[in-house]
Amino acid sequence: MIQNTYNGIIMVGDNRGQATMWCPNTSTAVVQMLCHKGSVNAMGVDVSGKYMVTAGSDGQMKVWDVRTFKPVHEYWNPTPAKNISISQKGLLAVGWGNQIQVWKDWHAEKQKKPYLKYDTYNNKLLTDLQFTGYEDYLGVGLYDGFSSVLVPGSGEANFDSYEVNVFQSKKQRREDEVSKLLDKLPADSITLDPAIIGTIDKASRDVKESERKAEEEEAERRANLNKKRKLKMRGRSSTKEQFSQKESVYDDKTRAKIKAVLDNKLKMKRLEKKKAIEEQKMIENEDLLEFFDPVDSIKRLKK
């Protein structure tokens, strides 16, 4: 698991060979990429956030363009790489076993050989790699210790003291933390394209209202799923009691469904009965009209 510092997206590699990208706005991955035929052992993203490096158990190390989600270059390692680290100046460190290789200009064009090669201290197995910020050192974690390697040109030499001050005092650090908290954007602003922040949403009011209602319904559904059942005291929260409560809830739901079906049947019977009565009345009225002679009734009235 790594973070793309350019847009704040979290990238995760799994044992299915997939690399997924996650943001707080959605409950599912925003991007799914099939990177290797085996599991993904290590990942890395450069400072610009444009290129990603993945190493798999199939022995391949691939360079990906995050903007198009397509591979740019492919490298073969004699042993599947386990660790990847990218420096501030774009140097790529790859480690496996007791070997460390440092690659330069790995995303511009395919390199024929690494920039530097190192062996771990006393040929011990390494566990992790990490470049030091604003320094030309590569930290190497070993199974039983720590070592450091000199990598010329890996760190940023000219830093911006308004952005990151490596020599700041305690007071400056405190003020810097306060200013960062005041300028912090909400988590729902994390997207694949950070340039969208500050733009105008041109969608109509109806579309915005429907999206808002859908978000509220989704939030309510999640709240109901995550709602914890209140436990009762004195043994009334036993497994048997919980099962009986679930059964009672199920019975209530089933009873409600059966009641609704019976009510519909009763309503249909009443409608059919009412219709039959109306038809009978119409037939009786037709019979009376057949035996009724208007001329005869006039003669009787004259008499």
Question: Over the stretch 212-231, which tens digit does the pLDDT of each residue have?
Answer: 888 888 888 877 766 655 55
The arithmetic mean of pLDDT across residues 30-34, rounded, is 94
- CB crowding 4-36: b at 16 or more within 10 Å, else e: beebbbebebeeebbbbbbbeeeeebeeebebb
**Given 3-state DSSP classes, what are the helix, strand and coil percentages for the chain, each rounded to the nearest 5?**
35, 25, 40
pLDDT exceeds cutoff 90 at 75: yes
Provide the 10 A C-beta neighbour count for residue 97.
16
Q: 119-155: string of b/e by CB count within 10 Å (b at 16+)?
A: ebeeebebeebebeeebbbbbbebeeeebebebeebb
The 8 Å CB, 24+ separation contacts for 264-268 are none
Place of tokens 């409950």: 27
Of 54, 58, 150, which is closest to residue 106 (Cα–Cα)? 54
Q: Which two tokens stand for residue 109?
A: 């064009």
Compute the average pLDDT of residues 128-156: 93
- Checking if the pLDDT of 287 tops 70, the result is no
Q: How many Å from the N-terminal Cα to the C-terminal Cα in the chain?
A: 112
Fold classification of 2-150 is: Methylamine Dehydrogenase; Chain H (2.130.10)
Q: Does residue 80 surpass a pLDDT of 80?
A: yes
Mean pLDDT in the chain? 85
Q: CA torsion, points 287, 291, 295, 299, in degrees to nearest 10?
A: -130
For range 257-286, the mean pLDDT: 82
How far is C-alpha 235 from the chain's CA centre?
40
Strand ranges (E), the chain: 2-3, 10-13, 18-22, 31-34, 40-45, 51-56, 60-65, 70-76, 83-86, 92-96, 99-103, 116-119, 126-131, 137-142, 145-150
Question: Across residues 119-147, what is the average pLDDT?
Answer: 92
